[in-house]
Amino acid sequence: MFRTCFTLQVSLDRRFLKSGVTFQEAVVLLQCVRTRGITPGRLALTLGRDKGKITRFVDRLVARGLVVRDPNPGDRRITRILPTDQGKLAARRFAALFERVRKELFANVRTGELRQTENTLPKLYDNAIKLGRKGPSLAAQLKPKAMQEEKGEQATSPHEEPGNAASAEDVANPGQESDETKPLRITKAQIDDLFPR
């Protein structure tokens, strides 16, 4: 399964790089076109990516003239990502490419097998989200042990029992999920939007 996921990502990037973007950049552009403008935070939530990665995708799309950042005049902290006319044309090409890729990907896969996969993937996705929440936070793993001891904190180790370490955000907002840790629910309609039949 992991090999298939990795191979699919590499194959998708190869197909889209011929059009001048990565697969993930194409997905970001299509989402911007579909929503007629979206904030980077909403993009991150919708696509299940961290905001830093979304920013890098958007930077590359801006550099290619496919999207623009549109600051809110009432609150400069809020920016929407809007597709340009060139971006809308590119999105049409990418949608057609998604359709070709979808047909090739599901070639020789029977309808019953596809339905079984459609029923299994959401469960695997939920398990992957839960798996990502176990263990010490990345920040706790990277914080030098001496700094933790200086502040009277118990040092964490990647070998400790999963789920014992809390991130700084967990401490600041107990019981609340951050945007990066909220489970992303992908509906069949969203998948169909990205991979039309």
Q: Give the distance from CA 118 to its chain's centroid.
A: 19
In a domain, 61, yes or no: yes
| Alpha helices in the chain, H assignment, sequence order | 2-17, 23-35, 40-47, 51-63, 85-105, 111-133, 138-142, 145-150, 168-172, 188-194
Tell me which amino acid residue 5 is. Answer: C
In a domain, 15, yes or no: yes
In a domain, 195, yes or no: no
What is the rounded average pLDDT for all residues in the chain? 76
In a domain, 189, yes or no: no
Report pLDDT digits (tens) over 17-49.
Answer: 888 899 999 999 999 999 998 999 999 988 888
In a domain, 50, yes or no: yes
The CATH number given to whatever domain includes residue 7 is 1.10.10.10
Instruction: Flag whether pLDDT at 194 surpasses 90.
Output: no
Q: Which domain holds residue 50?
A: 2-108
86, two tokens: 């060139």
Report pTM. Answer: 0.62
Q: List 82's β-bridge partners, or say none.
A: 68
In a domain, 47, yes or no: yes
In a domain, 88, yes or no: yes
Report pLDDT digits (tens) over 57-105.
Answer: 999 999 999 999 998 888 888 899 999 999 999 999 999 999 999 899 8
How many structural domains are present in the chain?
1
In a domain, 76, yes or no: yes
Mean pLDDT of 105-120: 89
